[in-house]
Amino acid sequence: MNAGAVVIGNTYTISDASIFDLVGIWRLEQACFPKDAYDLFTLLNLALAPNVMRLKAVIDNRLVGFLAGEAVRYERAGWIITIGVSPRYQGRGIGRLLLSSAEQAMRSRIASMKLTVRRSNTRAIALYEHTGYRWISTYRAYYHDGEDGLIMEKDLTMA
């Protein structure tokens, strides 16, 4: 699922992440999701899974964003497993670029893209809605602390 490299300006790059990015991705997960960060073992599984797309955002040789997703053929949908942008770099369009890169890379195999987000994560929800995602369902008490997860979906056949 090679997304290729996308260069934005002179400093932003979206490209495929590899096993060599694992420690940086783990640190990024911890910074982005203090309550819900994937552990190193789970991230290693994502790094080695053959059908998982892994993208990274790099600025000045610093990992500042990450996305993992996969196409679920029987659903004809892609699922964003995790997406995060370093708190210091949020609000610069990096999350939007990671999403659009994943959608482009999977578009030929799927009809929609889905993700789950904390009900209280209003900033992320606003980004998703702005990029065409809509709420379709709720996972009750999805997160460890009992908070609901909102399932959002974007129809890629209309875009």
Task: Write the pLDDT tens digit of every residue in 101-133.
Answer: 999 999 988 999 999 999 999 999 999 999 999
**The predicted structure's pLDDT at residue 73:** 86
- How far is 141 from 68, CA to CA, in rounded Å? 23
| Mean local confidence (pLDDT), 21-33 | 96
| CATH number for the segment(s) 6-155 | 3.40.630.30
Strand pairing class (112-118; 77-85): parallel
CB 55 within 8 A of CB 66: yes
**The predicted structure's pLDDT at residue 128:** 97
**Average pLDDT value for the chain:** 92
Percent of the chain with pLDDT over 70: 93
State residue 44 phi and psi, 5-degree precision. -65, -45
CB 127 within 8 A of CB 150: no
Minimum mean pLDDT range among 4-13, 52-61, 63-72? 4-13
- 64, with CB counted inside 10 A (0-12, 13-18, 19+), is buried
| Mean local confidence (pLDDT), 17-32 | 96
Long-range contacts formed by 88-94: CB under 8 A, 24+ apart: 88/64, 89/57, 89/59, 89/64, 89/65, 90/123, 92/12, 93/8, 94/12, 94/57, 94/64, 94/65
Three-class SS state of 86: coil
